[in-house]
C-alpha cells in the first residue's frame, strides 16, 4: 500500500484496504490509517472520508492526535468544513498541527472571519504558533482588502524573531506581491538571512504580475549569479515576463528556451504552451508555428494560443486554417477558440455567408448559449451590416439566459455604429423590462446614443437612472454625460458635472476642452488645457492638443499659435496625424504657409490624410501651383492617392477650367480604381461640364452604377450652365421616375437654368412644383434666381409684385437682382423702389449705389447720378474688383 501511495496510485491504496477489510487479513493500525487519510485527501471524496471516519471510530483511534489531525485535513480538502470543525472540536488533545490543519481549511475555502476567530481562539488556549500558522494566516489575509492585517502578521513575526525562517519570509513575499506592495516585498527580500529558489521565484512572479517584467528578467539573471539553478517555475515565470514585454524581449526569450535544454527540464505540454505564448506575444509567429507543429502533446490551450497569436498580428487567414484543422481533429472546440475564430472573420472583412458558417459551427459545438461567443457573433454580424441577424442572436440568448449584459452592450454598440437610434432606445427599455442589470458600459453606450442624436430629454432620463444607481462616480459614465451636455449646448451642466467628479482622467478633460470649443468658448477651452497640467498633473495627449489648436484657430493670437506649435514639436505630438492636420489647418487659416510647411515636414507622412490636408489648404487659398507640387511630391514618396486626394485634384481642375488637366485626372482615377466611387464620379462629371465637355459628362453620368440625388443635380446643373433647359427638364422628369425626391438644391439648379434660357413658363412651373407638390419653402437664392429670370424677360412689374407678396424675407440679393433688371429694361421707377429696399437692409453696399448711379445717368438725370457718387466717396466705400481665371495655354 505504501509503495502504491508513493507512485500516486491512490485508488490502488483504497482498493487494497477494501480487499484487506473483506478478508480480515490484518487489523488496521495507526500508520495504515494515516496512509489512507492522505490517499483519500487526494480523491476529495466526501463519502470516502465519512467511511474512514467510521472505521477510525470503530477501531477506537479517535483519541490519537495524529489520526484526528489527518482526518481534519482530509475533510477540509474534501470541502466538508462543518464535519472537519466538528472533529476538531471533539479532539481531546490538540497540538499546533491540528490548529494549523483547521486554519488551513478555512483559508483554502475563503472563510476569512472563521479563520481569524480560530487564530484568536488559538492564542486564548495558549497554543504556541509556529511559522506555518503565520503562513496559513497570510493566505487568509490575501482575501481581505485591508493590507493592515497582513502587516500585523509581519510585525508579529518580527517581534517573535521568526523572520529568520525562510518559509515564512517566502509567504510574506507572496502576500506583499499579491497586494501590489512591491516596495515592501523588495525590502523584505533584501533583508532575508537565507534565500532559496522559492524566494527568487516569488519575487519574479510579483514583478511579472505587477507589470515590471524587465525586473523579473533581471532577477532571473541574478539568481544564477548567487549560484542557484533555476527550476521549472523560474523558467515559466521568465517566459511570462518575456511575453508581457513583447518584441523587445525576444532575445531573452530565446535564451530561456535554450536554458530548458541545458538543464534538461521535462518538456511537458505546460512548458511548451509557455514557450508558444512567449513567441506569439513577441511576434515570432514562424517560430511559434514551428514549435506548435512539433509538439508531442497538444491541448486546447495550445490551439488557443497559436490562433490568438495570428489574430494579434492581423493574419486571419492563417488563424482560420488552424481552426479548420481543429474541426477535423477535435470533436469539441472551446469557446475561446470560437471567439478568436469570429475575430478572424471580422478582420478578414468577409461576407455575411462566412459569418453564417461560423454561426453554424457555434451551434454545432453547443456554444450558442455562451455569453462571450454570442457577444462576438453579434459584433461580427454588426460589422457586416446585418443588424437584424445580430438582434436574432441576442433574442435567442435572452430566452436561454436572462442576465446577458455583455451581449446587450454589444448590440447597443452595433445600433450606435449604424445609427439605429429608435432600435437602441427600444433595446434599453427591453433590457430594463427583462431585469437585466446595466453596467457602466451599458450606460456609456446609452448616453453616447443620446449625444449622437442630440436627444437631451432621453439623456436626462438616463442621467436620473445613473444618479439612482450610483454610477455617477464612474469616471467613464460621468465623462460620457459631459460629452452629451456639451454637444446639446448645455455647457453649464457639463461644467457642473466636471467640477463634481471625484477623479478626472485625460478623457474627462478632453471632453470638456472640445465641448467649450464647440460651444463658442475658445478662451475657456485654453484655460482648461493649462489647468489640466497644473491642477491634475496630466500631460496633454493628441486629443488635448487638437482641442487647443482649434481654440487658437478661432481666437487668432500670434503668441498662442507659436506656443502650441512649439509644444507639439517639442513633445513629439506633431508626428500624430490628427495634431499635424489641425496645426496645418490653423496656420493656413492665418496664411502662414511657412509654418504649415514646417509641420508638414516633421509629421509622419505614411498615410494620405496629412497629404490631403496640405493639398486641400493650398487649393482653398488659391495656391494651385503649390497644391500640384505637393501632389507630385506625394507620388514620388509612393503614397497612393485616395478618393479625397482625387476630389482635391478635381477641385483644382475646376478652378483652372482646364480640360487637359481634367483628362489627366480622369486617367488617374481609372488607373487607381476610383471610377466606381460615386462621389468621385459625380465630381468628375461636374468638372467636365464646367470645362465645357458636356458630352463626356453625360457619358459618365449614364454609366454610373449607383446614382445619388447629388449625381442627378450635377448633371441637371451641367445642362443648365450650357443653356439647354429642355434637356435639363427631361433629366429632372427622369429623376422623378427613378424614385429620387428633388431637394431645394435641385429646384435652385432648375430655376437658374430657366433664367439662363429665359424660359419664364418653366420657371413658374418649378416654383409651383417646389412649394405645392414637394412642400419646400424657396430660399433667398431661389427668389434671386427667379427675379433674374423675370427681369431678363422684361417682366419688371411681375417681379416687383412677386417680391412684395412672397411670405418670407426675400433678402438683399433678390432685390438687387431686381435693380439690375430695372437698369437693363430702363425702368427707373421700380428700380428706385427696389433700391430703397436694398439700402434699408445694407446701407453700405457699394455695388448697388454704383448700379443706381448708372441708372440715373442712362435716364439723363446726371445731377442725381453725381449726388449718389459723391455720397459713395464721402462714405469711403469701394467696389470689389471682378476676377477671371483663364487656362494658361502655354
Is the pLDDT reported for residue 548 higher than 50? yes
- Would you give the DSSP letter of residue 145? S
Range among 126-135, 177-186, 881-890 rated most confident: 177-186
Residue 840's closest CA among 866, 815, 863?
A: 815
Helix (H, G, I), strand (E, B) or coil at 437: coil
Question: Taking residues 407-430, what's their average pLDDT?
Answer: 87
* pLDDT of amino acid 232: 85
The residue that leads in pLDDT, 511 or 660, is 511
pTM, full prediction: 0.65
Question: Taking residues 393-414, what's their average pLDDT?
Answer: 83
CA 599 centroid distance within chain: 27
- Would you give the DSSP letter of residue 769? I
CA dist 315 and 238 (Å) reads 27
Q: What is the dihedral of CA 33, 34, 39, 44, to 10 degrees?
A: 90
Is the pLDDT reported for residue 481 higher than 90? yes
CB proximity list for 836: less than 8 A, separation 6 or greater: none
Residue range 221-261, pLDDT digits in tens: 888 788 888 888 888 899 999 998 888 888 988 888 888 88
Question: Taking residues 367-373, what's their average pLDDT?
Answer: 82
Question: Taking residues 392-412, what's their average pLDDT?
Answer: 82
Is the pLDDT reported for residue 844 higher than 60? no
Long-range contacts of 419-428 (CB under 8 A, 24+ apart): 419/452, 420/387, 421/449, 421/452, 421/453, 421/455, 423/387, 423/391, 424/449, 425/449, 425/458
The residue that leads in pLDDT, 851 or 626, is 626
* pLDDT of amino acid 167: 84
The residue that leads in pLDDT, 355 or 863, is 355
Give the other-Cβ count within 10 Å of 94's Cβ. 19
The answer to which of 36-50, 587-601, 778-792 has the lowest mean pLDDT is 36-50
Angle at 253 between CA 248 and CA 257, to 5 degrees: 165
pLDDT level of residue 485 (50, 70, 90 thresholds): very high
The answer to which of 452-466, 478-492, 497-511, 690-704 has the lowest mean pLDDT is 690-704
CA dist 345 and 319 (Å) reads 10
Is the pLDDT reported for residue 121 higher than 90? no
Is the pLDDT reported for residue 39 higher than 80? no
- Would you give the DSSP letter of residue 575? G
* pLDDT of amino acid 675: 75
pLDDT level of residue 12 (50, 70, 90 thresholds): low
C-alpha cell at 184: 515592501
Question: Taking residues 362-385, what's their average pLDDT?
Answer: 84
Distances from the Cα of 794 to the Cα of 267, 305, 764, 765, angstroms: 99, 83, 15, 18
Residue written as cell 535554450? Answer: 258
Range among 667-676, 777-786, 817-826 rated most confident: 667-676
Is the pLDDT reported for residue 527 higher than 50? yes
* pLDDT of amino acid 158: 80
CB proximity list for 565: less than 8 A, separation 6 or greater: 583, 587, 595, 599
The DSSP H or E segment spanning 266 is none
Is the pLDDT reported for residue 426 higher than 80? yes
CA dist 437 and 407 (Å) reads 12
CA dist 478 and 498 (Å) reads 8
CA dist 97 and 95 (Å) reads 5
CA dist 146 and 610 (Å) reads 52
Residue written as cell 532575508? Answer: 192
Residue 241's closest CA among 224, 221, 261?
A: 221
Is the pLDDT reported for residue 37 higher than 50? yes
The residue that leads in pLDDT, 888 or 249, is 249
CA dist 484 and 444 (Å) reads 10
Angle at 735 between CA 731 and CA 739, to 5 degrees: 165
* pLDDT of amino acid 751: 79
* pLDDT of amino acid 511: 92
Question: Taking residues 565-572, what's their average pLDDT?
Answer: 87
Q: In order of start, what are the domains of the chain with their CATH numbers?
A: 795-890 (1.25.40.10)
Residue range 667-709, pLDDT digits in tens: 888 887 777 778 888 888 888 888 888 888 888 888 887 788 8
* pLDDT of amino acid 42: 60
CA dist 619 and 613 (Å) reads 10
Average model confidence (pLDDT) across the chain: 80
C-alpha cell at 791: 427681369
* pLDDT of amino acid 23: 61
CA dist 759 and 378 (Å) reads 57
pLDDT level of residue 482 (50, 70, 90 thresholds): very high
Helix (H, G, I), strand (E, B) or coil at 722: coil
CB proximity list for 29: less than 8 A, separation 6 or greater: none
- Would you give the DSSP letter of residue 879? P
Residue written as cell 443588424? Answer: 387
Residue 136's closest CA among 169, 111, 167, 100?
A: 100
* pLDDT of amino acid 885: 45
The residue that leads in pLDDT, 762 or 516, is 516
- Would you give the DSSP letter of residue 248? G
Phi-psi region of 741 (alpha: psi -120 to 50; beta: other; left: phi over 0): beta
Distances from the Cα of 173 to the Cα of 45, 179, 184, 189, 386, angstroms: 33, 10, 8, 7, 53
CA dist 421 and 451 (Å) reads 11
Amino acid at each position: 500500500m505504501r509503495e502504491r501511495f508513493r507512485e500516486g496510485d491512490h485508488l490502488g491504496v483504497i482498493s487494497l484496504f477494501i480487499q484487506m477489510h473483506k478478508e480480515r487479513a490484518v487489523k488496521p493500525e495507526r500508520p495504515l490509517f494515516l496512509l489512507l487519510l492522505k490517499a483519500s485527501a487526494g480523491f476529495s471524496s466526501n463519502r470516502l472520508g465519512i467511511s474512514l471516519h467510521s472505521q477510525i471510530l470503530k477501531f477506537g483511534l479517535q483519541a490519537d492526535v495524529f489520526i484526528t489531525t489527518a482526518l481534519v485535513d482530509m475533510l477540509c480538502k474534501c470541502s466538508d468544513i462543518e464535519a472537519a470543525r466538528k472533529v476538531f472540536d471533539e479532539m481531546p488533545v490538540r497540538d499546533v498541527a491540528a490548529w494549523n490543519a483547521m486554519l488551513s481549511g478555512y483559508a483554502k475555502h475563503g472563510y476569512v472571519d472563521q479563520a481569524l476567530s480560530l487564530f484568536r481562539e488559538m492564542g486564548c488556549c495558549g497554543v504556541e504558533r509556529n511559522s506555518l500558522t503565520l503562513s496559513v494566516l497570510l493566505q487568509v489575509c490575501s482575501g481581505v482588502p485591508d493590507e493592515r492585517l497582513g502587516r500585523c502578521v509581519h510585525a508579529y513575526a518580527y517581534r517573535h524573531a521568526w523572520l529568520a525562517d525562510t518559509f515564512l519570509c517566502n509567504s510574506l513575499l507572496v502576500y506583499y506581491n499579491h497586494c501590489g506592495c512591491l516596495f515592501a516585498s523588495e525590502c523584505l527580500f533584501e533583508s532575508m538571512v537565507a534565500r532559496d529558489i522559492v524566494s527568487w521565484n516569488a519575487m519574479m512572479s510579483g514583478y511579472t504580475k505587477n507589470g515590471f517584467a524587465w525586473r523579473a528578467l533581471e532577477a532571473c539573471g541574478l539568481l544564477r549569479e548567487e549560484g542557484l539553478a533555476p527550476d521549472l517555475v523560474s523558467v515559466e515565470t521568465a517566459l511570462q515576463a518575456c511575453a508581457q514585454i513583447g518584441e523587445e524581449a525576444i532575445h531573452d526569450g530565446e535564451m530561456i528556451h535554450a536554458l530548458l535544454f541545458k538543464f534538461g527540464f521535462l518538456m511537458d505540454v505546460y512548458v511548451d504552451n509557455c514557450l508558444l505564448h512567449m513567441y506569439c506575444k513577441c511576434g515570432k509567429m514562424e517560430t511559434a508555428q514551428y514549435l506548435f507543429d512539433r509538439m508531442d502533446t497538444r491541448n486546447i490551450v495550445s490551439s488557443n494560443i497559436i490562433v490568438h497569436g495570428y489574430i494579434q498580428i492581423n493574419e486571419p487567414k492563417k488563424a482560420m486554417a488552424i481552426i479548420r484543422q481543429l474541426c477535423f481533429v477535435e470533436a469539441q472546440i472551446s469557446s475561446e477558440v470560437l471567439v478568436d475564430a469570429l475575430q478572424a472573420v471580422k478582420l478578414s472583412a468577409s461576407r455575411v455567408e462566412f459569418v453564417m458558417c461560423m454561426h453554424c459551427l457555434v451551434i454545432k459545438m453547443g456554444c450558442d448559449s455562451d455569453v462571450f461567443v454570442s457577444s462576438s457573433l453579434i459584433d461580427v454580424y454588426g460589422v457586416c451590416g446585418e443588424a437584424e441577424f445580430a438582434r436574432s442572436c441576442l433574442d435567442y440568448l435572452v430566452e436561454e439566459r436572462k442576465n446577458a449584459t455583455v451581449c446587450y452592450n454589444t448590440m447597443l454598440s452595433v445600433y450606435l455604429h449604424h445609427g439605429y437610434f429608435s432600435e437602441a432606445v427600444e433595446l434599453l427599455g427591453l433590457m430594463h423590462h427583462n431585469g437585466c442589470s446595466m453596467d457602466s458600459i451599458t450606460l456609456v453606450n446609452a448616453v453616447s446614443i443620446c449625444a449622437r442624436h442630440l436627444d437631451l430629454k432621453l439623456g436626462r432620463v438616463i442621467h436620473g437612472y445613473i444618479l439612482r444607481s450610483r454610477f455617477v462616480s464612474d469616471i467613464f459614465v460621468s465623462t460620457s454625460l459631459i460629452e452629451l451636455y456639451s454637444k446639446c449646448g448645455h455647457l453649464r451642466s457639463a461644467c457642473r458635472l466636471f467640477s463634481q467628479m471625484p477623479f478626472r482622467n485625460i478623457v474627462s478633460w478632453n471632453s470638456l476642452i472640445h465641448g467649450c470649443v464647440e460651444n463658442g468658448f475658445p478662451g475657456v477651452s485654453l484655460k482648461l488645457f493649462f489647468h489640466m497640467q497644473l491642477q491634475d498633473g496630466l500631460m496633454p495627449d493628441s486629443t488635448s492638443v487638437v482641442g487647443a489648436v482649434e481654440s487658437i484657430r478661432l481666437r487668432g493670437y500670434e503668441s498662442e499659435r507659436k506656443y502650441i506649435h512649439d509644444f507639439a514639436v517639442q513633445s513629439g505630438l506633431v508626428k500624430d496625424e490628427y495634431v499635424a492636420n489641425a496645426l496645418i489647418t490653423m496656420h493656413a487659416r492665418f496664411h502662414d504657409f511657412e509654418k504649415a510647411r514646417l509641420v508638414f515636414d516633421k509629421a509622419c507622412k505614411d498615410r494620405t490624410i496629412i497629404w490631403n490636408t496640405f493639398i486641400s489648404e493650398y487649393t482653398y487659398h488659391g495656391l494651385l501651383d503649390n497644391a500640384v507640387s505637393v501632389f507630385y511630391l506625394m507620388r514620388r514618396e509612393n503614397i497612393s492617392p485616395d478618393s479625397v486626394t482625387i476630389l482635391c485634384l478635381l477641385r483644382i481642375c475646376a478652378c483652372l477650367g482646364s480640360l487637359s488637366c481634367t483628362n489627366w485626372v480622369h486617367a488617374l482615377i481609372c488607373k487607381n480604381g476610383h471610377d466606381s466611387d460615386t462621389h468621385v464620379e459625380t465630381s468628375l462629371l461636374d468638372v467636365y461640364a464646367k470645362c465645357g465637355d458636356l458630352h463626356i459628362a453625360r457619358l459618365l453620368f449614364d454609366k454610373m452604377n449607383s446614382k445619388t440625388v447629388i449625381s442627378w443635380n450635377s448633371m441637371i446643373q451641367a445642362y443648365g450652365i450650357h443653356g439647354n433647359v429642355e434637356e435639363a427638364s427631361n433629366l429632372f422628369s427622369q429623376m422623378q421616375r427613378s424614385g429620387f425626391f428633388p431637394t431645394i438644391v435641385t429646384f435652385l439648379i432648375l430655376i437658374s437654368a430657366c433664367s439662363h434660357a429665359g424660359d419664364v413658363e418653366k420657371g413658374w412651373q418649378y416654383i409651383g412644383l417646389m412649394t405645392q407638390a414637394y412642400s419646400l419653402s424657396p430660399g433667398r437664392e431661389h427668389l434671386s434666381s427667379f427675379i433674374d429670370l423675370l427681369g431678363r424677360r422684361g417682366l419688371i412689374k411681375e417681379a416687383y409684385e412677386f417680391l412684395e407678396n412672397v411670405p418670407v424675407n426675400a433678402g438683399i440679393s433678390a432685390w438687387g437682382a431686381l435693380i439690375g433688371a430695372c437698369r437693363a429694361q430702363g425702368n427707373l421707377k421700380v428700380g428706385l423702389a427696389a433700391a430703397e429696399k436694398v439700402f434699408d437692409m445694407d446701407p453700405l453696399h457699394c455695388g448697388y449705389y454704383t448700379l443706381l448711379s448708372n441708372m440715373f445717368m442712362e435716364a439723363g438725370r446726371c445731377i442725381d447720378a453725381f449726388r449718389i457718387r459723391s455720397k459713395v466717396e464721402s462714405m469711403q466705400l469701394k467696389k470689389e474688383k471682378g476676377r477671371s481665371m483663364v487656362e494658361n495655354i502655354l
